[in-house]
Amino acid sequence: MIPLTLDEVRTIVGGELVLPAGSSAADVVTGSVETDSRLVTAGSVFFALPGEVTDGRLFVPSAVENGAALVVAEAPVEAGVPVILVADGVVALADLAREVVARIRDARDGADRLRVVGITGSNGKTSTKNMLRAILSDLGPTVAPEGSFNNHVGAPISMLRSDFDTRYLVCEMGAAGPGEIKRLVGIAKPDTGVVLKVGMAHADGFGGIEGTRAAKAEMVTDLPASATAILNRDDFRVAGMADDTAARVVTFGLTEGAEYRATDIEVTATGTSFTLHAPGLTREVSLRILGEHHVMNALAALSVTGEWGLDVDRAATVLEGVTRAERWRMEVLDGGPGVTVINDAYNASPDSVAAALKTLAQITGPGQRSVAVLGEMAELGEFARDEHDRIGRLVVRLNIHRLVVVGDAARHVHMAAGLEGSWDGETMLVPDSDAAYDVLKADLRDGDVVLVKSSKSAGLRFLGDRLAGVTA
């Protein structure tokens, strides 16, 4: 974070400063901002936020022991370091992030100014963010979230990693309900807003696909005319957001007419290649990342690069060196003699499961078996049964050879596949990961390609690691 005095922080968050003996309101804090006491280091600001299960104030002693220089809390707490009392810790965190980003902007202008991009979509946010981080880090100091820090707490924390040296700030913006992306956009005020896809992820919180569309459109509705909205031309719900924004619109996709377009896509077990068509540039791109759906993420990242006036050819070369989208996202692992494990179980929506299954079918060669290990797709609410049923039928249509469904919540995948009489494959429903592991270890053979896919809550990412002997 940029250097701020205690009094400046108090003013920004609208709180009451409580000083212990020996401290002054003029004292400066420069450390990281954290909500997890385990991540606190010397000089950090610790936001002791209340949670559904516990209260951050319980972890103040641990935060102070780890070096916290300031605690922000909603109620009095004994800390031995300065404390700022606020009415709402989440609002205070947002206010601090908004001010810090604004001050960095104000400190520089011209070619050296801070560039901010916001990325949202039902799928692909984290992968696109990671691609952009790789591209931009090659060009200058870049801040981007670790993991999926994209909600009302994680996104501001990520923004607060910025300082006066930061050239590029990449903000991943997720939402579980209406208004959340709008709030994050109001904090970061992106120069560029990217919308990847509108799908059924978190459909329960949005009330269906049109509610999801409205929430994702919040990325571009408040952008000024000086900003750029980068939209997926292939998704009609996203493409239609051009009518919702005053910003200049640029599109990407496979569709003719997109400014950043891919043709001649080829997916193999070693990666994904395509021909990139960008303004003033046509070239072959060979990604080491697995899956046709990552072509769209790459196009989005390259669109930002090009629209910021950066070298797209150099950016494409950087992308060719990226070895994986993210831990537990289409991560290719060695499952033992002749067995390939694709661990893609960090999250799952109907669209991402369909994309992963398509990739599995594409890369399984003659004489090999495709094995899909599927768990629950969470947060679908009233749509859960139909969407799990649709995935089961897709397994059959893609002629996946073996299906192992894990957990009762995903049983409709198993049931739907089993009802398809034309299918020569096999399906099995098992109660948990341990049972799935036992079945797979007994059945897997040389040449098998195994996809492990579920929402994070189902825990199958650990099953994927276990099948490949990964311990960390």
The answer on whether 126 is annotated among ligand-binding residues is yes
Pairing between β-strand 248-253 and β-strand 228-232 as defined by DSSP bridges: parallel
The answer on whether 121 is annotated among ligand-binding residues is yes
Report the distance separating Cα 193 and Cα 227, nearest Å.
8
The answer on whether 309 is annotated among ligand-binding residues is no
Report DSSP letters for 205-220, one per residue. HHTSHHHHHHHHHHHH
- Residue 170 — φ and ψ, nearest 5°? -105, 120
User: Are the C-beta atoms of residues 198 and 191 closer than 8 Å to each other?
Assistant: no
User: Are the C-beta atoms of residues 157 and 35 closer than 8 Å to each other?
Assistant: yes
The answer on whether 122 is annotated among ligand-binding residues is yes
Report the distance separating Cα 472 and Cα 462, nearest Å.
10
Residues 6 or more apart whose CB falls under 8 angstroms from that of 136 comprise 142, 144, 167, 168, 170, 305
The answer on whether 347 is annotated among ligand-binding residues is no
The answer on whether 127 is annotated among ligand-binding residues is yes
The answer on whether 5 is annotated among ligand-binding residues is no
- Residue 359 — φ and ψ, nearest 5°? -60, -45
Its sign, for the CA torsion 402, 406, 407, 410, is negative
State whether residue 454 is helix, strand or coil: coil
User: Are the C-beta atoms of residues 56 and 82 closer than 8 Å to each other?
Assistant: no
Task: Please give the annotated binding residues, written as ranges.
Answer: 121-127
Q: Provide the annotated binding site for ATP.
A: 121-127
